[in-house]
Amino acid sequence: MSVLSELAFSADDLALTRFAVSPMWEVVAGFRLLVSRAAHPVHRPWTEQVRSRVDDAGLTAGWLADLVPPQNYLCDFLTPFPTESAPSLDAELAAIRATPAAFVRRDIAKLRESARTRALRADPERWLPQITEEIETFWEIALAPYWAKIRAVLDAEVFHRARQVAEHGAAHFFNDLHTTVSWDDNTLRLVRRCCVLSRQTAGPGLLLVPSVFAAGVLTWMRYPDPPQLAYPARGTGTLWERRPPARAEAIAAVLGRSRTRLLTELAAPASTTELAGRTGISAAGVSQHLAALRGAGMVSAHRAGRSVLYARTAVAETLLTAAD
């Protein structure tokens, strides 16, 4: 059953409204998408690539499986309030580990009881470090190799929305944000299935967090902090498109054909063995080229179990995009 939440805004609340890009919101929304096992029309390439890695690491039967159910409530302590516009994952994990025990107990009381939630309720300080270790594993396996692409979409969304506010005003922006969100008479209205949002239970202002994995609008409240509203980012539909550079020859003249080919193949993260099989370059040659590209800041390495996945960085993405 849907309910209508209303969040009143004063002039001060509007002045304190801002955006942030949060790795932890992508962790919880991305993990929820994976455990739902739903066939997603946009994220299918990503889920097909990472699901087996996540299963092999035991994450679908670990702490996150208890704290991030496929539907309904998400523990607020997993998405701590960002104190800056783009906090690092390390900063957010530190905030999770520092969550007061009372907040942890309040959050898990809203979840289905399990052996893990009982243990966490009994001794949060003992188990929070283990939870953040599991989050780090999920990040390294499922998100870090793709973060350059994801971050580009999120940054573009923030730029677009900020320009929208500047050109058309807050009312136009809020009414365009999502079908479940509307603005009228200095009040933001959200159609929600749970978690009623009101100014009486939230601090001043509003934090808007775009997400590539959020299926709908997600909310967060912890007085006296401003409420958080995570919402689906524009441009997510292009996230996993594989487009070879239109001017690969021009790039190859600078980087060489083999390194350009490897960058092109890294539209999706891959191991040395996979790249050797696709390109016909020897494994030793692939390793040598990847080391050079990594030294130039164009490739990053991420451990996934016994393998190491290589991914294009933002530098490489910019180069290939500029060549299109």
- Say what the pLDDT of residue 41 is: 84
Q: Model-level pTM?
A: 0.84
Q: Which of 98-107, 156-165, 252-261 has the highest mean pLDDT?
A: 98-107
pLDDT for position 153: 92
Tokens found for residue 206 = 């509003």
pLDDT at 192: 64
Question: What percent of the chain clears pLDDT 70, i.e. is strictly above it?
Answer: 94
Q: Which residue has the tokens 């500047």?
A: 166
* pLDDT score of 306 more than 80: no
Q: Count the neighbouring beta carbons within 10 Å of the beta carbon of residue 201.
A: 12
> Between the CA of residue 124 and those of 12, 65, 93, 117, 201, what are the distances in Å?
36, 17, 14, 10, 24
**Residue 34: pLDDT above 80?**
yes
Q: Could you tell me if 270 and 283 are in contact, meaning their C-beta atoms sit under 8 angstroms apart? A: no
The overall average pLDDT reported for the chain is: 88
**Mean local confidence (pLDDT), 139-143:** 94
Report which of residues 102 and 260 the model is more confident about: 102
The string of pLDDT tens digits covering residues 179-226 is 989 898 888 888 865 556 777 778 898 999 999 999 888 888 888 889
Residue 272 pLDDT more than 70? yes
Per-residue pLDDT band at 106 (split at 50, 70, 90): very high
Residues of the chain with CATH 1.10.10.10: 247-323
CATH number of 247-323: 1.10.10.10
Q: Which residue has the tokens 């990503």?
A: 46
Q: What is the spatial distance between Cα 161 and Cα 171, in angstroms, rounded to a whole number?
A: 12
Residue 244 has pLDDT above 70, yes or no: no
Q: To 10 degrees, the CA torsion angle through 236, 242, 248, 254?
A: 60
Question: What's the chain's Rg over C-alpha atoms?
Answer: 21
Residue 4: pLDDT over 70:
no
> What's the whole-number mean pLDDT along residues 166-188?
89
What mean pLDDT is predicted for residues 228-257?
82
Identify the H or E element spanning 302.
Answer: strand 299-304
Over range 28-32, report the average pLDDT.
95
pLDDT at residue 143 greater than cutoff 90? yes
Closest CA to 213 of 284, 266, 142, 261: 142
Residue 249 scores a pLDDT above 80: no
What integer is the mean pLDDT of 132-146? 95
- pLDDT, one tens digit per residue, over 38-63 is 777 899 999 998 999 999 999 999 99
